[in-house]
């Protein structure tokens, strides 16, 4: 990931002007770190297919990280989760103000597509990448999930509705990262199966986050926890033990599915996947 971090640092959004803090705020959450899970997935797929494409692929990996970071900034706003901590740092609306946080989120969202539009791919590949990110991160993907999540606070949903919520809110952007890697690598045969794998992986990721919300402190998690009481989280609706069972079952399914990947894909993705697939098992 050193190559990606170097790329990110050299392509930070800049807005030189007389505004006292806008440019710093644009960069703050990007430089705060994070798991970089989605970029790792995309780059792993590309690395398995053709290492010569890795430098170009950093543009797409960065675009996903930009879109994901915007979603976190907006998710933390007072109108949504009203969180104080993200990536181990105070949230932007706490450091600056709510207007700055909203506008920085807007800017990172659009910058993601600017980065993709300028990426050194053929026009056909660029269009497919932009379409994939927009479809999964936009009105019928991540934003839809957020809308359902916020609207139905304090209104318990059925299990399948909760799955739909979190497939959109979390799963689709993770699935998009894997599919975009396949698009860049020229692996059309891999696009559909790895996207489906990503949907399941994203659902597991969300169940794990729900578990960690009740088992970790804010300091351990690097973000505000104990904050889901009104939400349709798997723990809130199913209870802790049933949520753990859901996570265990999905983790087992995904672990088996990894074995069906070709040798190169297994080698590049397994270290990252197995670390995160089993992270809920390390709860106290």
In sequence order, what DSSP letters do the residues of the chain get, joined into one string? -HHHHHHHHHT-----SS-SSHHHHHHHHHHT----HHHHHHHHHHHHH-GGGHHHHHHHHHHHHHHHHHHHHHHTSTTTT--SEETTEE-HHHHS-HHHHHHHHHHHHHHHHHHHHTSSS-HHHHHHHHHHHHHHHSTTTHHHHHHHHHHTTTSPPPHHHHHHHHIIIIIHHHHHHHHHHHHHHT-HHHHHHHHHHHHHHHHHHHHHHHHHHHHS-HHHHTS--S--TTS--HHHHH-HHHHHHHHHHHHHHHHHHHTTS-HHHHHHHHHHHHHHHTGGGG--
Residue 284: predicted pLDDT: 52
Domain carrying residue 87:
2-282
Residue 229: predicted pLDDT: 76
Q: In 3D, which of 276, 116, 256 has the Cα closest to residue 180?
A: 116
Torsion from C-alpha of 77, 80, 86, 89, nearest 10 degrees: 30
Answer whether 0.85 is exceeded by the pTM.
yes
Looking at residue 249, which CATH number applies to its domain?
A: 1.10.600.10
CA–CA distance, 117 with 77 (Å, rounded to integer): 29
Only one residue has tokens 């990536």, namely 87
Residue 210: predicted pLDDT: 93
Domain count, the chain: 1
pLDDT tens track of the chain, all 284 residues? 899 999 999 999 999 999 999 999 999 999 999 999 999 999 999 999 999 999 999 999 999 999 999 999 999 999 999 999 999 899 999 999 999 999 999 999 999 999 999 999 999 999 999 999 999 999 999 999 999 999 999 999 999 999 999 999 999 999 999 999 999 999 999 999 999 999 999 999 999 999 998 988 877 777 777 777 778 999 999 999 999 999 999 999 999 999 999 999 999 999 999 889 989 887 65
């Amino acid at each position: 990931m050193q190559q990606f971090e170097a790329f990110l640092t050299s392509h930070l959004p800049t807005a030189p002007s007389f505004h006292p803090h806008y440019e710093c705020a644009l960069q703050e959450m990007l430089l705060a770190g994070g798991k970089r899970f989605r970029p790792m997935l995309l780059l792993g797929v590309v690395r398995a297919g053709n290492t010569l494409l890795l430098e170009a692929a950093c543009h797409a990996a960065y675009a996903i990280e930009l879109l994901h970071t915007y979603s976190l900034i907006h998710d933390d706003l007072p109108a949504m989760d009203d969180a104080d901590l993200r990536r181990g740092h105070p949230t932007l609306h706490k450091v600056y103000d709510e207007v700055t946080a909203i506008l920085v989120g807007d800017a990172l969202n659009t910058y993601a597509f600017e980065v993709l539009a300028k990426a050194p791919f053929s026009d056909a590949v660029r269009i497919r990448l932009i379409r994939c990110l927009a479809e999964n991160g936009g009105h019928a993907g991540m934003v839809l999930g957020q809308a359902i999540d916020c609207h139905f606070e304090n209104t318990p949903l059925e299990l399948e509705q909760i799955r739909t919520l979190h497939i959109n809110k979390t799963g689709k952007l993770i699935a998009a990262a894997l599919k975009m890697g396949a698009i860049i690598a020229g692996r059309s045969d891999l696009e559909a199966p790895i996207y489906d794998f990503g949907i399941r992986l994203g659902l597991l990721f969300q169940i794990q986050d729900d578990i960690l919300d009740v088992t970790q402190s804010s300091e351990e998690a690097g973000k505000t926890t104990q904050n889901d009481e009104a939400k349709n989280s798997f723990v809130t609706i199913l209870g802790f033990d049933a949520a753990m069972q859901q996570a265990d079952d999905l983790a087992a399914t995904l672990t088996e599915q990894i074995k069906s990947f070709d040798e190169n894909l297994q080698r590049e993705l397994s270290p990252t996947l197995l670390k995160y697939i089993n992270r809920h098992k390390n709860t106290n």
